Amino acid sequence: MFLGEVSFEDIKSPRNELVTAAACHLIAGSISLEEIQLNTQSSVPHWRAIINVGLKHRSVAVQEAAAIALAEVSRLVDCSTMVTR
């Protein structure tokens, strides 16, 4: 996955909302059960952090992209621990 080539610092930068939204859309379109189960051995081990950054972002477009990504993840696994705070 090419998302692993982009630094997490660039993705979480507050002025890079297009990059953050694109990262969330890429996760939504490519996440698999295998990647989820690999956890830290995944090709993009910080994919959960990317979704979290997107959900907390000030831009509605980024929040929506992150919500779409989380919805795709929740189709594959139970995400109640990610959502419960």
Question: Residue 41's pLDDT is what?
Answer: 86
> How many domains are there within the chain?
1
Is 46 inside any structural domain? yes
Q: Measuring CA to CA, which residue among 74, 75, 14 is closest to residue 84?
A: 74
Which of helix, strand or coil describes residue 78? coil
Task: Quote the mean pLDDT of the chain.
Answer: 89
Is 77 inside any structural domain? yes
For residue 49, name the pLDDT band (cuts at 50, 70, 90). very high
Domain residues for the domain of 63 are 7-83
Question: Residue 80's pLDDT is what?
Answer: 78
- pLDDT for residue 40 is more than 90: no
Is 2 inside any structural domain? no
CA atoms of 17 and 13, how far apart (whole Å) = 8
Question: Residue 24's pLDDT is what?
Answer: 96
- pLDDT for residue 14 is more than 90: no
Is 1 inside any structural domain? no
Q: Measuring CA to CA, which residue among 36, 41, 6 is closest to residue 21?
A: 6
For residue 85, name the pLDDT band (cuts at 50, 70, 90). low
Helical spans, DSSP H, in 1-85: 8-12, 17-30, 33-38, 47-56, 60-76, 80-83
Give the tokens for residue 14. Answer: 């507050």
Q: What is the mean pLDDT of residues 39-59?
A: 90
Is 20 inside any structural domain? yes
